[in-house]
Amino acid sequence: MAHIAIFLMPERGHVLPALGMIAELVRRGHRVTCPITDSFAEAVTGCGATVIPYETTLPATLPESLFVAAQLALTEAESALPQLADAVRDDPPDIIVWDIAAWTGGLLARRLGVPNLVVESLLTSNSHWSLGTSVVPARTFNPEAIRFFTKVHEFVGSSLPEFIAGARRRIALFPREFQPEGDTFDERFAFTGPCLTERAFQGAWEPPGDKPVVLATTGAQVCANAARGMPWHLVTKGAVRNPAPNVEARAEVPQLAVMAHASVFITHGGMGGVMEALHHGVPMIVVPHMTDQRVNGQRVEELGLGVLLDSVTEEGVRSLVDQLMSDSAISARTKDMQRMIHRAGGSAFAADVVEEELAR
């Protein structure tokens, strides 16, 4: 069996959506190594992979701007490359799979001359639709951007689009139907849907009664205030003052375990959470923090899978939770997308793509 190295940006929205692919490759007998930070080591080893530890430069919370996030990705790659180069050279993989924000993987694949694939937990891009142009206004001259992309070119040896295009294929962790202009993407793009697996490291969860469950991972205090006296049970991530009896506030939420019982999900709109909700047929209230999350929220609203808000209010949460629980049209469209996700193939399809490239 092959040695597969998987490079992921050490951030929840990039690590958790790929765990199912890692677990499936291990199940098929491959040896998987994963450069990752200590905070995600348990999640990765729980899938049967071997961790290659390194220190990250990323802040605890990513910025709102994708441009600033790209600057952080460059700094991270500049720091990670010398930390990981010797380990990868001494134990060379047969193929490298790298997250679109983990550029070290692409650079080391080029150095070693091994095939490589890109994993995308953000909406992908081609000549018909681009995430970058959707969130960044067109500018005739921007000295800061020119300096940044010149620095990227010097570091990776090409423009960033050319660098990413050097990967043989791209594994998109969402279904083609969620991608804007999805029918314009060719066979190089494998829309696998989310790659989910058991998350023992997050613990188990069962609903405390018969009330409908609402999961909120943003706006904890507002959502807790809104839930007071309502006929549903709220599970929320974050500190809450004076929670009502029907409010369960947790520092960390076993999200997949709760999502299996949820009727509504209130989320910032990261692709990982959006896909987890749709995998379980759960409509959403999306309150974005980052610009890519806003695009995800717009897509959720366009497809009739939930609503997009600029901010949460107590009255808005109450009325929208009731609306989403009772709207048969939204429920039907969410169930349709759930079926599309299950048909996409998930972890098994993603592992197939990796094995196809190994066999070339």
Average pLDDT over residues 166-173: 96
Domain 202-342 in the same topology as domain 3-193+345-359: yes
- pLDDT value, residue 121: 95
- pLDDT value, residue 55: 98
Instruction: Report pLDDT digits (tens) over 102-148.
Output: 999 999 999 999 999 999 999 999 999 999 888 766 555 688 888 99
CA dist., res. 160 & res. 162, Å (int): 5
CA dist., res. 171 & res. 118, Å (int): 6
The region of weakest confidence among 45-49, 85-89, 101-105, 141-145 is 141-145
Average pLDDT over residues 206-225: 97
Longest dimension (CA), the chain: 61
Which CATH number is correct for 3-193+345-359, 3.40.50.880, 3.40.50.2000, 3.40.47.10, 3.40.50.620? Answer: 3.40.50.2000
- pLDDT value, residue 135: 74
- pLDDT value, residue 85: 97
Average pLDDT over residues 188-195: 97
The region of weakest confidence among 143-147, 270-274, 299-303 is 143-147
Average pLDDT over residues 189-210: 95
Average pLDDT over residues 28-38: 98
Helix pair 314-326, 220-227: axis angle to 10 deg: 70
Residue spans of alpha helices (H) in the chain: 12-15, 19-27, 41-45, 66-90, 103-112, 131-135, 143-156, 160-165, 220-227, 255-259, 271-279, 291-302, 314-326, 328-344, 346-359
Q: What CATH number labels 202-342?
A: 3.40.50.2000
Average pLDDT over residues 226-246: 97
- pLDDT value, residue 212: 98
Average pLDDT over residues 4-8: 98
Average pLDDT over residues 221-237: 98
The region of weakest confidence among 111-125, 142-156, 308-322 is 142-156
Above 90 in pLDDT, residue 23?
yes
- pLDDT value, residue 145: 85
- pLDDT value, residue 136: 65
**What does pLDDT average to over the chain?**
95
Q: What is the pTM of this model?
A: 0.95
Q: Say how many C-beta atoms besides its own lie within 10 A of residue 133's C-beta.
A: 10
- pLDDT value, residue 140: 55
- DSSP letter (8 states) at residue 136: S
Domain boundaries, the chain: 3-193+345-359, 202-342
Taking CA 126 as the corner, what is the angle to CA 109 and CA 9, rounded to the nearest 5 degrees? 40
CA dist., res. 355 & res. 117, Å (int): 11
Above 90 in pLDDT, residue 351?
yes
Above 90 in pLDDT, residue 274?
yes
